[in-house]
Amino acid sequence: MLKEEYLHQLVKELYSNETLAVYDYAAALFTTQSEDFSNTKRWTDQLIRDKLAIYTDAEHSLLQLTNFGKFWMLHGGYENFLKEGQSNKDHCKEKDDIKTGTFRKDELLEARLKLTHYRIVGFWLMIVISSMGFCLSLYNLYLIMSGRK
């Protein structure tokens, strides 16, 4: 079963029940040795990251739908949530840095540091030019007061 299908069914089940024991629900769908059953924790954590559900116990086995999750359930469920592009999807480490966005983050950080450097250099340049102007105006006052022109 695909992750998206499972999460859509899980959100439907959460909507019909107030709380849901995740592992009991997964055990009813899959065998306990299957790969899908072992992915249950990771997949339900995706619902938590997307803020569609919250854990209601310390063991992280009971899920409850949030108001945001209820909104998306009324608007078509998890599939429409994905279609609207609202998800904070997990990105595989094997994908290119450009696809995952880390390249873009590094590029933005470099630009931010370069602009900060220019800002600091501009600040000190302004201080030096202002100081030179002040010194020239003091020298001009000295020449005027001493009577030399």
**pLDDT tens across the length of the chain (149 residues):** 578 888 888 888 888 888 888 888 888 887 767 777 778 888 888 888 888 899 988 888 888 999 998 898 888 888 888 888 766 655 444 444 455 556 678 888 999 999 999 999 999 999 999 999 999 999 999 999 998 65
Q: Are residues 76 and 147 in the same domain?
A: no
Q: How far apart are alpha carbons 149 and 147 in whole angstroms?
A: 6
Query: If you ran DSSP here, which 8-state letter would residue 21 be given?
Result: E
Q: How far apart are alpha carbons 146 and 115 in whole angstroms?
A: 46
Q: Are residues 69 and 126 in the same domain?
A: no
Where in the sequence is the domain holding 144, given as residue range(s)?
96-149
Tokens for 32?
């306990």
* Sheet with strand 53-55: strands edge to edge: 19-21, 62-65, 53-55
Q: How far apart are alpha carbons 117 and 22 in whole angstroms?
A: 51
Q: Are residues 101 and 148 in the same domain?
A: yes
Q: Are residues 8 and 75 in the same domain?
A: yes
Q: Are residues 72 and 100 in the same domain?
A: no
- The residue behind tokens 């069914």 is 9
pTM of the model: 0.54
Q: Are residues 33 and 55 in the same domain?
A: yes
